[in-house]
Amino acid sequence: MKIFMMLGWRNIWRNKRRSLVVISSIGVGIFAMMFSMGFMNGMNMQMVENTISTSLGHIAIHEKGFQDNMKLEYSFIPDGEIISAVKGNSRVKAFTERIKVQGMVRSSEASRGVMIVGIDPETERTVSKIYDYTLKQDGSRYLSGRGDEGILISKTMADRLDLVVGDRLVIMVQDLNNEIVGAGLAVTGLYESPVDSFDKYVVFAGIEKIREITGLGKNISEINVLLKDKDDVAPVKTEFAGAMGGKNLEILTWKEMAPYLVRAVQLFDMIMFIFFTIVFITVIFSVANTLIMAIMERFHEIGVMKSIGTRPSRIFFMIIFESMNLGLVGLAGGVASGLLVIALLSWTGIDFSFWMESMKMFGTGSVIYPVIRVTDITMAVVIVLFTTLIAALYPAVKAARIKPLEALHFI
């Protein structure tokens, strides 16, 4: 079989220009595939990471029913049993307690519906990135403690409510007795996250201050947990469920809390799949066309090979190897250039700040850092080998079936 591999290799260089065109088309296809994969991976990862780091965490523990109806009545007391189950789990990196209540904020200019999140500023910064997102200039600062009298709002919301740091606004919520209660709070800081929907909807205040306004006592809405490894959510959820089995709690992973995110990633994957299918169908026809031309040119020669005793199966494999060689050279070029460009861009990032509004809508941030995984490269190799194999089948069968006598008469 070695000689047929060698023949396959030498044959592709008999018409250098034609082979190089095909190799280039495979190389460009692979490069486009790797680049788009890298870009989409980066975008998906940043979208997921940003959503996790702004609000979701990896796992949240709520009173049963809270996820569907975020009202104060769905709250619970974080007793020792719950806290020790979370604290004692070796896969947990950090956790924090939150009160979440839907309400309204009003300035002298406008009002908006919001999610008011009462936080412990110290533990919150170990779980979410809200501290990092808080602007640290022009008087803007993070919340100073559980009982901070101020409120942290996004820059977007400050613009819409026409507020600056130090201005007062009024928050209004429905308390446990279904009465509307309100309080005036000073804007202590502004934040800016990469997630547009988050900036438009979420404000932060000290957890004790929210308890005071709502009369919630020692209750909280959720314990939000950050794990050391995002992929451990399923086993940790099971462990939590085992430890807190007797309680009326719901333990949700980030995928369960944000199914839209999972669907978005699936949608992007599907778009990529369609894109790759189109690219590789083009490659299949390009390779098949080249091989058919090469076989027609060598019709006589293949006839001679068969005349002197080469079995049809060996002619078949010679054409398959020829196609594989074209694919492998294109693959090497495509993977090498793809890796180089992705390595460079994963370092510099691709700046989309000119398109910031749209990027914020996706929650990715304005700079995308492409990421390529070993599985992506493996997939590229498998796809190319499979594609070139498929492309070679018809020409190879055609070559194997050449009748030696007909071919000998064909010059």
Residues in contact with other proteins by the rule CB under 8 A: 3, 7, 10-11, 14, 300-301, 304-314, 404-405, 408, 411
Nearer to other proteins by Cβ, of 246 and 309: the residue is: 309
Least distance from other proteins to the Cβ atom of residue 9, Å:
9
Interatomic CA distance for residues 57 and 64, integer angstroms: 18
Residue closer to other proteins by CB (options 168, 311) is: 311
Smallest separation, CB 397 to other proteins (Å): 13
State the minimum distance, in angstroms, from the CB of residue 327 to other proteins: 19
Backbone angles phi, psi at 172, to 5 degrees: -130, 130
DSSP assigned state of 137: S
Q: Which token pair is 298? A: 């060598």
Radius of gyration of the chain, Cα coordinates, nearest whole angstrom: 31
Query: What is the nearest approach in angstroms of other proteins to the Cβ of residue 4?
Result: 10
d(CA 27, CA 312): 31
Closer Cβ to other proteins, 112 or 300, answer by number: 300
| Residue 395: closest CA among 307, 299, 277, 301 | 299
Task: Quote the least distance from Cβ 333 to other proteins, whole Å.
Answer: 23
What residues does 170 pair with on adjacent strands?
Answer: 106, 184
Looking at the Cβ atoms of 14 and 168, the one nearer to other proteins is 14
Least separation, in Å, of the C-beta of 398 and other proteins?
Answer: 15
For residues 136 and 409, which CB has a smaller minimum distance to other proteins in the complex? 409
Alpha-carbon distance 282 to 256, whole Å? Answer: 39
Only one residue has tokens 């507020």, namely 163
Q: Are 84 and 229 in contact (CB under 8 A)?
A: no
Taking the least distance from each CB to other proteins, the nearer of 1 and 374 is: 1
Q: Are 77 and 223 in contact (CB under 8 A)?
A: no
